[in-house]
Structures are given as structure tokens and as C-alpha cells.
Structure 1
Amino acid sequence: MARRIKPKRWMARVYFRDSAGVRREVTAQGPTRAAAEHRVKLKLSNLPVAGAELSSATTLREALERWVSGLDDGLALNTLRNYKLWAERLSQNLGSLLLRELTAGALDAYLAGIDLPSVRYNQRLTLKMALDEAVRLGALPHNPVLATRPVKTKKKEVRALDLEQVQELRRLVSGLQATPTYSGYLPDLVDVLLGTGCRWGEGAGIRWQDVDLEAGTVTICGTLVQKAGWQADTKTHEVRTLQVPPFVLEVLRRRRSEAREGAVFVFEQGGKSLAYNSARTWLGRALKGSDLEWVTWHVLRKTTATFLDERLGLAEASLQLGHASEEMTRSAYVQRSKQAAFAEALEGLAG
């Protein structure tokens, strides 16, 4: 609603419900009716709707902080940490911009300036999720990230060890035994990870109270998190009990007999749980100069998945790894043969 209040002066008036639900008046003046209406609309767009905590005048930094504070506690700890790191980077680079200034063009130009596709993908994902929330709260009419160019990332080929390479790996890690300052846990850790298919944090974080030597089982109910120590949770928030093969049971029995009194973890160094960075360094040192330099701790998990899939099937491999779906195991953990060998079956086509 607008009216002339004096020559060449107009006032536009609207009513607005504030965050407490109270009806308030918003006015603006201008030399023309159109100018007054435009100004009142601009003022209105900068105000939060009832029940909201954001407006178009909110900075991206504030929006990101609100989004981070509301992240689900049920997310894996590493996932939460990564979201926070990506949000911090966005705050450093774009945090001073107001939400209304976040056009698709501006965001697309920012993303295009990021060289690494993986970093560009994660920055775009974080922006999308944070601004999705801004849309839900009425601070934005639509999410500008949706109009930016999607990031094309090349799907990594799953690479696992064959049996010959497994034996070579075991030989190489055993070769570190004479190295000073090294406690000798590497061969045993390699065997436990191969024989269980655990993630590094799960395998290195197995506690003696989770081991049943008589039943030959280990219960995976927690994980080691870098710089945070042992956490009573797994990535999928599911506890699973695994029957271990004889070679792993032999490792556990020997380590139990050699463990210090009061030891908490199967794998300890200096009376403390293992550190991922240190373990990664020792593995790299053991494999340096060999044909297996490409191998990481995660490759062992993929090796277990591929081995089980070939012999027992995908369902069993997925169950052993603790995945929520078989598709996850198939797409990200099982190495596929590049050579088709179905000649015998195809012979049936000729009758």
C-alpha cells in the first residue's frame, strides 16, 4: 500500500510478522510511488520471517556457522570434522558476502577458481547444504548453487591386492623388525586388517575386552579417531561381531600372552593407542622402492572385500565389512576383472 504524503514524496507501508510472531509495520519513502514500493520491499527482504534466524542480510559466515551447529550428531566423527573444515574454508574466502549477494554467477566463478576437482566438489556440496537451510528458513527464495556447473569427478578404479601381492606385502612389513624406534606391530596389524576387513581405526582400536579368544571372535564397537582417541561408535553406528580366521586368532593369542599388564588395546605403542599418521609413515617406509608403494591401509579393506566377493559372494563381503548396502561394497570396495571369461556360457547361444 502506498500514498502520496506531500508533493514528490510517497510512502509505502506493509505489515510484517517478526520472529516472535508479532505483527509490525514496515514503511519506506521515495520520490515516486514505484521508488517507495521498491524501498519497502528491500527493507522487507532483509528481515527474517517468523521463526527464522536468517535473512538475506545475513553473512555467509553466519549462515555457515548456524548450519555447522545444527549438524546431526549421528554423523560419523570424521564426516563432521570434514564438514567443519570445508565450512571454515568457505568462511575465509566468501564469509563476508551477504546471502542476497550470493548469485549463481559469483559462486560459479569462485568454484571454477579451485584447481582440484575433489576440493571443488566438497566446497560446492557444503555451499549447497548450507544454502538449502537458508532457503528453508526463508532467507533466500532459491538456492543459487543449483545453477552452478556440477563438478565432474573421475570415479576411482577399485584396486586390491592379489594373493601373490598379499604375501609380498607381509614379507615387506616384516622386514622392519630390526629398525630402531619401531615396536614391531606392523605385520600383526596387517594380518588383523586383512583377516577382518576392518577400517584402520576399527582394527587398530580393538580392545582386549572386545576379543573372545575361546570363541575366536572380535566385536567391532568403536574406532580410533585421529587426534581424538578411541570413540565408542563406528562409521555406520552398528556393532558387529566377526569370526576371525585361524591366522588372526594366532596373532591375537600371541599378543595377549605378550601384552603388558593392564593393556587396553590389542595394538599399543608406549602404553598408548596407535596414531594413524605414525602407522601410515611406517607402512610407507616398509613399501618404499617396491611395486607396492601405491598400497594404503584402506587397500587392505578392499582386498578383503574382493577376496570374499570372489569366493562367497557380494552379500557376505558386505556383511563382513559392515556396509549398509551391497551397492556400497560393489562400487567402492570390490575390484572387478577387466577380462571377460564367459566363453563357455556364451557357447549356448549357438544352440
Structure 2
Amino acid sequence: MAGYADHVRRYLSPLLGHLLLAEVAVAHVEEMFQVITREHQAAGRRLSAATLDRIRATLRAALNAALRAGLVEENPASLVALPPTRRPRAVVWTAARVQHWRKTGERPAVAVWTAAQTAQFLDAIVPYRLYAVYHVIALRGLRGEAAGLRWCDLDLEEGTAVICRQLQRRDGRLTVGPPKTAHSTHVIALDRTTIAALRAHRSRQQAEAAAHGEGYRDSGYVFTNLNGDPVALGRLTHVFQKLIAEHDVPPIRLHDLRHGAATMALAAGVQLKVVQEMLGHSSIVLTADTYTSVLPEVAHPAAEQTATHLLRAAGMVPGTTRRRGRALARRQHPTWGHTRTGLVRRRATSRRPALAGPRPRARPPGRLRSDAAVSAA
């Protein structure tokens, strides 16, 4: 809701507010986007296709309401052509990519750490007073809701947390609002390490309150400043970037910790539906399409399985450049032989046992014994 209000205040009212509702046409909307683009370019500010698309979505929602009320005959915002939006896919900071970044400074738009890099970072920042917030985001995939957590939302005995609010800075002050979507209000499970981190954080917070004295404000929030006021998400983002620079790990955004949480969960074998619930997504398609980068340890078995399937089809021995021999195929076919009872199937073997001795010659069926053999009998 705050994003919609911001679009109305910054773009829609100044550029379309002089028109009557029924006068708004496609040409007016196209001109509005041209003005927005020119203003950003003149100020040297980046304007993505996704931002333009979100502004159009705000206008389109308002005009759809007018359309349902019979105030307009069409929705011009739906007819405006904008540049296609391409959601950047998260890539993993592999060793080769880290080496390239250190050499050239080039970094992906969206990147996630490996499990080892995440563990290295968390281990390095344990002494920091707000360590627990980064631990929670990295393991449970929270976003702005992390700043909105209150102690009454946590049940450390049962290991659960209710995600029901977020803090955002508007007009220079913190405001409380609901999570991003209706489905974002959900309950998440807390693992033992996260519970331990939160218990240690609560003890530290109580010690800070006692040291601060009467001026301490008990806001009830989990993550606070030294005076007890809730800490803003922007502050957490700023500190996160400083910690990254101090501990010499590949750069990522704070929100990328959320991407990494989903990726590591999938690498650990967690089902996609469970990851969807952990992130608070309304659709499993959104989870699969947006937050699931493939870690090397997940991709390697898939690559090996594909190669093995192809090599078997080509008659190759997996893991080598040797072709399968034909002896195996010959051994799998039965042979035929003569016995006293006639023609029978014999099981084929590659070689006779060493102690079997010479095989007796089979007498053709119907052949009579010699006279000497008859008299001997």
C-alpha cells in the first residue's frame, strides 16, 4: 500500500492530476512515462523496466476500479506498451566467479553465497550485537519482516515465529504495516541454532537495557537500537554492507540472503512446497521461478545422471572412454546342446569352472551302443 501511495504522490498526481478521469487516454499515459524517463536520466538515477511496470500497475489498478464503477469505458494503462521486464536470476559465488570479481570488480546483479561462504560470514560476525538478525534472515529467508519481529511473535520453547508485520521508513519515520502480501503472514519453524542465537540476543538486550538506565524504551521489538527503539531495515542494510567489506566476502545485497536461504534449503533436500511456505509465497511457481538458484552440489549429480544416460545409450562405460564389449551380450544368450533326453537349453557361461574337468562328449540321439558295450552289459 505504501508503494502505491508513493507512485501516486511522485508520478501520477503531478503528471496526470490535471486531467479529468474520463479524459485520460493512452497518449497521456505514454507521455507520462516519457517524462519520468527523462527526469531520471537528467538526474543520473537508474530507472529499471520493473519500476516502470510497477508504476503502470498502480495506475491500472485505479483505472480498473473506475471501469468497474462505469466511470470510464476502457483502461488506457492496459494498452500502453512498455519495455519488457526481465527478472534477474541469482547466480552463485563460485570460486571462478569470485576470482573474476577480485580481478575485474565485475559482480552479478543478484548473487548468493554458497553454504560455506554463508557459514564463514556468520561465524565472523558472531560478536556483533545484532548478529541474530542476519542469522534469522540467512537461515529462515525473512525480508523486511525481520525488523518487525516482536518478542511476543516468538515461541522459543516450541521453536516457531509468527510473521505478521514489517517496519518501513516513510517520510523520515518508521511506520508499522502488514507484510508484503496476504500470504506473507505465516508461521515459520525455528531450528536449534536460530533458537540459541535468539536466546543469546535476548540476554544481551536485557543487559543493554540495564546499562542504559531509566531512559531505555522497552518497545517489545526483537532487534533494537541501544535505546530500545526498533532498528530500521535501512540501518540493517547499511551495517550489512559494512560487515561484508570488513570480512572480505563476495558482495551481495541483504535481500540476497533470502535467495540464499531458499537455495540452501533446496540443496539440503527440503521439498519445494516447504520452501514456499517458509518464504511466504502464494504460489509455488513464484518460488521455483524466482528464488531457486542451483548450487554446484545440486547441479553435479544432475549433470552426471544425464551423461550416464547418454553414455549407456551409446554403449560407453560411464566415467571412461571405453566402449562396452560384446562378450557380455554373448554371455546373456542361451546355447543349445544334445543330451540323452534330446535338445535342451544350456545356461551360457564365459568360462568353465577350473575343477570341472573335460566335458564328456554328448552322444547324438538315437545312436546305438557298440556290441562290446552290449556284451559288457
TM-score by length of 2: 0.61
Instruction: Describe the shift of the 1:345–1:186 C-alpha distance in structure 2 as closer, same or farther (beyond 3 A).
Output: farther
Tell me the distance in 1 between the aligned counterparts of 2:205 and 2:129.
12
Instruction: Describe the shift of the 1:120–1:243 C-alpha distance in structure 2 as closer, same or farther (beyond 3 A).
Output: closer
RMSD: 2.8
C-alpha displacement at 1:349, in angstroms? 4.5
Instruction: Describe the shift of the 1:93–1:320 C-alpha distance in structure 2 as closer, same or farther (beyond 3 A).
Output: same
C-alpha displacement at 1:350, in angstroms? 4.7
Aligned equivalent of 1:146, options 67, 78, 85: 78
What residue in structure 2 maps to residue 236 of structure 1?
182
Tell me the distance in 1 between the aligned counterparts of 2:178 and 2:5.
21
Amino acid at match of 1:204: A
Instruction: Describe the shift of the 1:278–1:152 C-alpha distance in structure 2 as closer, same or farther (beyond 3 A).
Output: same
Q: Does 1:279 align with 2:225?
A: no
What residue in structure 1 maps to residue 99 of structure 2?
none
Instruction: Describe the shift of the 1:134–1:219 C-alpha distance in structure 2 as closer, same or farther (beyond 3 A).
Output: closer
Amino acid at match of 1:108: E
What residue in structure 2 maps to residue 64 of structure 1?
none
Per-residue CA shift, 1:122-168, capped at 9, x if unaligned? 23222222222333333332222333213311221123221122134
Aligned equivalent of 2:21, options 99, 107, 112: 99
What residue in structure 2 maps to residue 329 of structure 1?
287
Tell me the distance in 2 between the aligned counterparts of 1:190 and 1:259.
16
Instruction: Describe the shift of the 1:138–1:218 C-alpha distance in structure 2 as closer, same or farther (beyond 3 A).
Output: closer
Kept in 1: contact 2:129–2:201 (CA 8 A): no
Tell me the distance in 2 between the aligned counterparts of 1:324 and 1:134.
27
Kept in 2: contact 1:211–1:217 (CA 8 A): yes
Number of residues paired by the alignment?
262
Q: Does 1:165 align with 2:113?
A: no
Question: Which ranges in structure 1 are unaligned for 5 or more consecutive residues?
Answer: 1-79, 178-183
**Mapping of 1:194-205 within 5 angstroms?**
194-199=138-143, 201-205=144-148
Tell me the distance in 1 between the aligned counterparts of 2:68 and 2:189.
47
C-alpha displacement at 1:92, in angstroms? 0.6
Instruction: Describe the shift of the 1:170–1:104 C-alpha distance in structure 2 as closer, same or farther (beyond 3 A).
Output: same
Tell me the distance in 1 between the aligned counterparts of 2:78 and 2:175.
38
C-alpha displacement at 1:244, in angstroms? 1.8
C-alpha displacement at 1:232, in angstroms? 6.6
C-alpha displacement at 1:271, in angstroms? 1.0
Kept in 2: contact 1:107–1:145 (CA 8 A): yes
**Mapping of 1:125-274 within 5 angstroms?**
125-158=57-90, 159-171=111-123, 173-174=125-126, 184-199=128-143, 201-226=144-169, 227-231=173-177, 235-237=181-183, 239-260=185-206, 264-269=220-225, 270-274=227-231
Secondary structure in 1 matching 2:157: coil
Tell me the distance in 2 between the aligned counterparts of 1:283 and 1:258.
20
Instruction: Describe the shift of the 1:210–1:130 C-alpha distance in structure 2 as closer, same or farther (beyond 3 A).
Output: closer
Kept in 2: contact 1:172–1:287 (CA 8 A): no
What residue in structure 1 maps to residue 308 of structure 2?
344
Report sequence identity in percent: 26
C-alpha displacement at 1:258, in angstroms? 3.1
Kept in 2: contact 1:217–1:242 (CA 8 A): yes
Tell me the distance in 2 between the aligned counterparts of 1:134 and 1:321.
34
Tell me the distance in 2 between the aligned counterparts of 1:93 and 1:239.
35
Tell me the distance in 2 between the aligned counterparts of 1:238 and 1:118.
21
What residue in structure 1 maps to residue 365 of structure 2?
none
Amino acid at match of 1:119: T
Per-residue CA shift, 1:232-251, capped at 9, x if unaligned? 76733565333322221211
Secondary structure in 2 matching 1:273: coil
Q: Does 1:315 align with 2:237?
A: no
Kept in 2: contact 1:308–1:316 (CA 8 A): no
Kept in 2: contact 1:111–1:123 (CA 8 A): no
**Mapping of 1:50-129 within 5 angstroms?**
80-88=1-9, 89-115=11-37, 116=47, 117-129=49-61
C-alpha displacement at 1:82, in angstroms? 0.7
TM-score by length of 1: 0.65
Secondary structure in 1 matching 2:161: strand
Question: Which ranges in structure 2 are unaligned for 5 or more consecutive residues?
Answer: 38-46, 91-110, 210-217, 316-377
Per-residue CA shift, 1:255-274, capped at 9, x if unaligned? 23333276723222111111
